[in-house]
Amino acid sequence: MAFLVRVTARAERDLANLYGEIDAEHSDAALKWYRGLKKAVVSLEDYPNRGSLMRGKHDLRQLLYGHKPHIYRVIYRIRERQQQVDVLHIRHGARRAPRISGVA
């Protein structure tokens, strides 16, 4: 059974900012990369456990997308009972792991 992928407002802002940063509106290559990232996020519907567990955060996972030095981290939580994946944050992989409030 497929999981519902819910992208939080924070992750939506991250995606919007990333779209502007890579200038996807004016670059076919950047737009293709951006669409690939969104496709990877949607793929969590069928494969929610594909990302690795985040160190020190046993209820959070991360899905890495891209190639060095342009790797982005999709941080998400699986809610098994609700059959739902919450995408919490999308950020450059070189950045320090975020402090996500409201997560035990």
More confident residue, 27 or 58: 27
Long-range contact pairs involving 38-43 (C-beta distance under 8 Å, separation at least 24): 40/65, 40/74, 41/5, 41/7, 41/74, 41/87, 41/90, 42/5
- Which single residue is written with the structure tokens 């995606």? 15
80 versus 93: which is more confidently predicted?
Answer: 80
- Model confidence pLDDT, tens digit, residues 28-55: 999 999 999 999 999 999 999 999 999 8
What is the 8-class DSSP label of residue 43? G
CA distance 54 to 11: 17
Q: What is the pLDDT of residue 101?
A: 56
Tell me, what's the pLDDT at 104? 40
Q: What is the pLDDT of residue 26?
A: 94
Q: What pLDDT score was predicted for residue 70?
A: 81
Position with higher pLDDT, 56 vs 39: 39
What is the rounded CA–CA span in Å between residue 86 and residue 7?
Answer: 6
Domains in the chain, CATH or no CATH each: 4-92 (3.30.2310.20)
Across 4-18, 63-77, 89-103, least confident range:
89-103
